A and B are shown apart, each in its own frame.
Chain A
Amino acid sequence: DGGITQSPKYLFRKEGQNVTLSCEQNLNHDAMYWYRQDPGQGLRLIYYSQIVNDFQKGDIAEGYSVSREKKESFPLTVTSAQKNPTAFYLCASSIMRDSGNSPLHFGNGTRLTVT
């Protein structure tokens, strides 16, 4: 079955360390996204990518970085510059970004805890 795989499901890191969250999709979707979810705040867009080797900042990109070297993969690095990194991170994909009627397909998320 096609879908989005995020790994690991739970991740623990010490403050000051960079950490990379994995996201792989086999849906052949062009667009991929990273969202951060905090209680009571809905989903906030961190980064998105419409094609390989291209990505754009979302609303809360500070302290994060991404790469898109392959169509299937869109890893997110949470850097030590991110002031409050503990959150639930969701990766999503869609057929095309600029087509407003394309729904997003989500992975099952990675819960990151930084102490």
Chain B
Amino acid sequence: AQSVTQLGSHVSVSEGALVLLRCNYSSSVPPYLFWYVQYPNQGLQLLLKYTSAATLVKGINGFEAEFKKSETSFHLTKPSAHMSDAAEYFCAVSTNDMRFGAGTRLTVKP
């Protein structure tokens, strides 16, 4: 069975600052990993996914994530936050069954 832990239910950054959202996973087999974003009252949209081709994965809207097997982590980063990045972010792990973390709400201050 696999699981995901997102550290920090709420992260606040200033506009232009680095965004770092943390995700650790547990899986008995090599997993596929995903980050999704959710804007208020909407569904989730795929930001990026890791499928073992490369450990550094680039996604949409300037986000990227690095797969670190030794740390069982898949943290999401963006060098410079924009007001439009304010949303909830979900990390997910999948072998044949996708499991989501509890989510991290990102607030961007002007």
Q: Does A74 contact B (CB under 8 A)?
A: no
Given A40-B9, A40-B102, A101 contacting B43 (CB threshold 8 A): no
Chain B residues positioned under 8 Å from A108 (CB to CB): 41-43
- Candidates B9, B42, B49; contact of A103 at CB < 8 Å: B49
CB contacts under 8 Å to A, within B37-72, are 41-46, 49, 51
The residue in chain B whose Cβ has the minimal distance to the Cβ of A98 is B96
- Candidates A40, A41, A100; contact of B32 at CB < 8 Å: A100
Query: Most chain-A CB neighbours within 10 Å: which of B45, B90, B94, B98?
Result: B98
Q: Are A103 and B46 in contact (CB under 8 A)?
A: yes
Bitwise interface map of A from 33 to 44 toward B, beta carbon under 8 Å scored 1, else 0: 000000011110
Q: Are A106 and B101 in contact (CB under 8 A)?
A: no
Q: Are A111 and B41 in contact (CB under 8 A)?
A: yes
Count of interface residues, chain A, beta-carbon cutoff 8 Å: 22
**Bound complex: CA A106 to CA B94 (Å):** 16
Q: Are A109 and B42 in contact (CB under 8 A)?
A: yes
Chain A residues positioned under 8 Å from B101 (CB to CB): 42
The residue in chain B whose Cβ has the minimal distance to the Cβ of A109 is B43
Q: Does B95 contact A (CB under 8 A)?
A: yes
Given A42-B100, A103-B49, A104-B98, A90 contacting B31 (CB threshold 8 A): no
Q: Does A63 contact B (CB under 8 A)?
A: no
Chain B residues positioned under 8 Å from A9 (CB to CB): 41
The 10 closest A-B pairs by CB, nearest first: A106-B43, A42-B102, A100-B94, A42-B100, A43-B100, A101-B32, A101-B51, A106-B44, A100-B32, A103-B46
